[in-house]
C-alpha cells in the first residue's frame, strides 16, 4: 500500500524546495526538523498527486502530530523524540 515506485515528496524549506524519494520520507520523516511537512507529492511521471495519498501518520501536520501524541495513531518514526 505504501510503496510508490519513483514517487517523490516535495518539502518547503527556508532554503527552497527539497525533493526526496517517497521511500526516504516514509523511513526517515523530517529528522531534526520536526515541523517540516510535505507540500506536494509527485508520481513517477512528475505529475502532482493529492497529499491524501500520503497516510495521515506520515504527513507530519499539526493534526497528525497531535493524534500521535494522544496515541490515537501510531508514530511512524518511533526513534524521533517528542512524538511518542
Residue range 32-76, pLDDT digits in tens: 888 899 999 999 999 999 999 999 999 999 999 999 999 999 999
pLDDT of residue 35: 85
Cα end-to-end span (Å), the chain? 24
pLDDT computed for residue 83 by the predictor = 54
Q: What is the pLDDT of residues 17-36, one digit of tens each?
A: 999 999 999 999 998 888 89
pTM for the predicted model, two decimal places: 0.84
What are the residues whose beta carbons fall under 8 Å from the beta carbon of 77, sequence distance 6 or more? 28, 29, 83
pLDDT score, position 1:
47
How far is the C-alpha of 4 from the C-alpha of 15, rounded, in Å?
27
Set of cell numbers at residue 57:
501518520
Amino acid at each position: 500500500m505504501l510503496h510508490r515506485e519513483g514517487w517523490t515528496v516535495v518539502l518547503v524549506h527556508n532554503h527552497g524546495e527539497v525533493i526526496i524519494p517517497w521511500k526516504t520520507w516514509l523511513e526517515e520523516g523530517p529528522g531534526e526538523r520536526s515541523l517540516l511537512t510535505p507540500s506536494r507529492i509527485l508520481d513517477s511521471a512528475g505529475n502532482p498527486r493529492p497529499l491524501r495519498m500520503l497516510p495521515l501518520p506520515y504527513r507530519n501536520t499539526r493534526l497528525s502530530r497531535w493524534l500521535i501524541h494522544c496515541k490515537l495513531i501510531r508514530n511512524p518514526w518511533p526513534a524521533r523524540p517528542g512524538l511518542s
